[in-house]
Amino acid sequence: MAYLVLILSTLRGFVFLFMGLSPMPNIFFAFTLINVGIAVLSSRFFSYLKNPGELSTFLKLLTINIIFGLIWYFGDIIFGNYLLSGRNFLLFFIAPISILFFLRAKENYLVITIFFIATAVSVSCIIQFIICNIYPADIIGIEMVRGPLEAITPTNNSVIFSRIGSIYRAHGITANYHDSGNILTMVSVYSFGYTFYKKTSILTICLTLLILLGVFSTLSTANIIAAIVCIIIISLFSYRGLFKRIFIIAVMGYALLFFSTFQIEPDAYEDVFNQLDPSGSKMNAMMNLGSSSASERIISMLFGHERSSGISDMGYYSEAAIVVMLMEFGIVTFIPLMLFFCYPIYIFLISNKEIRREMWVPFVTVLTGLLTFWHYGSLFRSTSIFLFFAFYSMVIKKYLNRRLPYSN
């Protein structure tokens, strides 16, 4: 069932395409409810609470977050918000129970499922990128992908073909370039590290390259930066195969440069690189903190519910998910929430070298997901969150399976 939850959450767009379902928002929310329901009901949460064992700290953090999440949700209900607040409560505070669900899944099948998902998302992004930018391109290409994209986009959202300069972004099967980029960013880092620790085949290298191409086709700047940073981390500090790492990085780097400029004028990417200019409009937009006063921001930061109360507008204008979360949940709920999501960092730091080696690849993958908080919060979209929890569970499993006396 764990594999089904992953596939239904990330690739639900294919269900809409092949079954001809109307992309009504309530149907999308029904998918979220089904996935959360399956994960929670199959998690054996209360059984773990009775016999926590080595999961004691994890379960305490999880339980504390559920309690604080309930308090926050009841507060938002007072303001008259039910649906959006309910969705946030499910994804931020209830869905993490699925980590217990993924802990019992066989890791090799989980990895196969993850690669299958990433391949499907990558192919959908690359095909759209080619059609919109290379052949037939322009208006004809846009109209070719409009129908499928409208079939998987909620009817309360308009289909917008986003682009940077003259280059159209690939939205992929998630119908959102940030969401597709978020999925592929996490898997690209995992896949890259996977090639260092497993017997590397041509198929594995090709899949990794395909996933990286998928990431770049989305032109999701925040996710691309997160992917590059964490790939560098996993490459420089991995425990095995220096020559192998250098060779794979060189081959993939050359291949990415070749495919990125194929049939596209190199000058067309100038606007893409301008996104990284600290003085550019993109970075200025990310630093926008609204027009509310310092006292209004402090009140919202302390008590949360910014969207419902309207006391401040910093979270509304900010493009940084970490800021939006802080202003929406308030500092009292935000701190234990972040402690929970940083739990893999804690167990990595207290583990000895042997355990760290075993958990290194999924650990850096979890860091990748956390790093994407610096921009849009795609990690907490229903398409990405279960994938993140699957990687989170891998870190815990490595810790439990290779439990050794602590040493410095």
CA 225 to CA 177: how far, in whole Å? 14
Whole-model pTM: value is 0.90
pLDDT exceeding 70 applies to what percent of the chain? 85
Residue 137 region by backbone torsions, left for phi larger than 0, else alpha for psi between -120 and 50, else beta = left
In a domain, 15, yes or no: yes
> Average of pLDDT values for 80-100?
88
Residue 245 has pLDDT above 80, yes or no: no
The residue with tokens 């280059």 is: 167
In which band, very low, low, confident or very high, does the pLDDT at 262 lie, cut at 50, 70 and 90?
Answer: low
From 334, 355, 377, give the residue that closes a domain.
334
Same domain, 299 and 161: no
Most confident of 198-202, 237-241, 267-271: 198-202
Residue 278 has pLDDT above 70, yes or no: no
Partnered with residue 168 across adjacent β-strands are: 163
Q: Token digits for 152? A: 């998987």
Q: What angle do CA 408, 369, 120 make, to 5 degrees?
A: 125
Same domain, 241 and 363: yes
Q: Token digits for 396? A: 């815990």
CA 257 to CA 251: how far, in whole Å? 10
Residue bearing the bigger pLDDT, 234 or 247: 234
Same domain, 309 and 204: no
Q: What angle do CA 52, 56, 59 make, to 5 degrees?
A: 90
Q: Total domain count for the chain? A: 2
Same domain, 151 and 97: yes
In a domain, 407, yes or no: no
The burial class, CB within 10 Å (0-12 / 13-18 / 19+), for 246 is exposed
Residue bearing the bigger pLDDT, 301 or 276: 301
Same domain, 320 and 259: no
pLDDT tens profile 365-392: 999 999 988 777 778 888 999 999 999 9
Same domain, 238 and 307: no
Question: What is the three-class DSSP state of 310?
Answer: coil
Same domain, 286 and 269: no
Q: What is the mean pLDDT of the chain?
A: 85
Contact yes or no for 352/405 (Cβ under 8 A): yes
> Average of pLDDT values for 295-314?
88
Question: What is the three-class DSSP state of 289?
Answer: coil
Residue 188 has pLDDT above 90, yes or no: yes
In a domain, 325, yes or no: yes
Inter-residue long-range contacts of 250-258, CB under 8 Å, 24+ positions, other chains counted:
251/205, 252/205, 252/208, 252/209, 252/212, 255/209, 256/209, 256/212, 256/213, 256/216
Residue bearing the bigger pLDDT, 293 or 344: 344
From 334, 352, 369, give the residue that closes a domain.
334
CA 313 to CA 222: how far, in whole Å? 22
The confidence score (pLDDT) of residue 408 equals 34
Same domain, 35 and 84: yes
Same domain, 146 and 176: yes
The confidence score (pLDDT) of residue 195 equals 81
> Average of pLDDT values for 80-107?
89
Residue span of the structural domain in which 314 resides: 281-334
The confidence score (pLDDT) of residue 99 equals 95
From 289, 313, 334, give the residue that closes a domain.
334
Same domain, 60 and 17: yes
Same domain, 227 and 78: yes
In which band, very low, low, confident or very high, does the pLDDT at 138 lie, cut at 50, 70 and 90?
Answer: confident
In a domain, 147, yes or no: yes
Same domain, 218 and 73: yes
In a domain, 23, yes or no: yes
In a domain, 408, yes or no: no
Residue 138 region by backbone torsions, left for phi larger than 0, else alpha for psi between -120 and 50, else beta = left
In a domain, 406, yes or no: no
